[in-house]
Amino acid sequence: MPDPVPGIHHITVIASDPQANVDFYTGFLGLRLVKKTVNFDDPGTYHLYYGDDIGHPGTILTFFPWPNAYSGRPGAGEVITVAFTIPPDSLDHWLRLAKKRNISVTGPQNRATGEPYLSLQDPDGLPIELVAETHGSGHAIQGFHSAALALRNPEPTAELLTKSFGFRLLEQHGDRLRFKAESSGPGHFVDLIAQPGSTPRGAMGAGTVHHIAWRTANDETQKLWRRHLIEKGHNVTPVMDRQYFHSIYFREPGGVLFEIATDPPGFTFDETADQLGSGLKLPPWLEPERRAIEASLPPLETHAGTTRA
């Protein structure tokens, strides 16, 4: 049996306008663009990675921005909300900043689980929550708080989380079940939201989550995970080299695409810490096509810097 999953590694989302995406996540949310590369399966499209100062696991939100992409439809079988942790005294700061940027925000409000939070949407309509927790200082986003999965029947997914991943059921309020990893790092909560059978299934498109990735320590533990999941009847991909981590993918019982990604080698694999996100990085097998790839990508003005203090 592999070691328990310590939490979320990254979440990957579909977007449309790459410039609007960069401006929102760096200019407003204050995340750092830690890697500018391409979708390895569709190299005519950017793959943009945002996170903390060096993109630690548990802080990484990534995007496939297809210009003029159709809007997706959130629904059953998808991650429907991405929540970040902010320090407890920073709610007013984020309200003022959102008003200054003409970004619509709802809250502060308190969920039954107890924490105060703000709700907003990114330029493509992805629901984002900023959750005030009892640690941290200043105003910067600290990493993921949680992700919410909409499921017609949460029980099989709950069994996967508890019996395989090592999460425990923390609390239940109405149709929301909260699970917690045995870890204190970022992204150690996940919420399962029961959707009635009449709820339409989600449809991929701009503003919807493509997949959620979970952490594992290294290549050896990932191999154990692949063997364990196959033994449990899941259809798991071979290991894929994503340059900054290695990945396996499978669909959990409710239809959400899960990934298990290694913590190493990380984003300083091909750039120094101070240069992260400054240039277009390609894997070795795409370097011979660099000129054609660069010509096919839309211009993108990026912003240097680190997460907002």
Rounded (5°) CA angle 299-303-309: 155
Q: Which helix (H) or strand (E) holds 259?
A: strand 257-262
Structural domains for the chain:
8-296 (3.10.180.10)
Q: What is the pLDDT of residues 118-138, one digit of tens each?
A: 999 999 999 999 999 866 668
Non-local (6+) Cβ contacts of 15 within 8 A are: 21, 63, 64, 65, 66, 69, 122, 123, 124, 206, 207
What is the C-alpha end-to-end distance of the chain, expressed in Å?
40
Band of the pLDDT at 149, cuts 50, 70, 90? very high
Point out which residues pair with 73 in neighbouring strands.
203
Q: What is the DSSP letter of 123?
A: T
What is the arithmetic mean of pLDDT over 15-26? 97
Q: Determine the pLDDT at residue 183.
A: 85
Band of the pLDDT at 88, cuts 50, 70, 90? confident
Q: What is the pLDDT of residues 249-291, one digit of tens each?
A: 999 999 999 999 999 999 999 999 999 999 999 999 999 999 9
Answer whether residue 239 shows pLDDT above 50. yes
Region of 300 (left: φ > 0; alpha: ψ -120 to 50; beta: rest) is beta
Instruction: Return the structure tokens found at 122.
Output: 């990114």
Q: Determine the pLDDT at residue 205.
A: 96
Q: What is the DSSP letter of 268?
A: G
Q: Determine the pLDDT at residue 309.
A: 39
Instruction: Tell me the C-alpha distance between 208 and 103, whole Å.
Output: 19
Total Cβ atoms within 10 A of residue 96? 10
Tell me the residue type at 70: Y
CA atoms in the 13 A half-sphere facing the CB of 199: 18
Answer whether residue 306 shows pLDDT above 50. no
Cα→Cα distances 38→35, 44, 54, 219, 244, Å: 10, 7, 19, 23, 13
Instruction: Tell me the C-alpha distance between 54 and 297, whole Å.
Output: 25
Better pLDDT: 114 or 220: 220
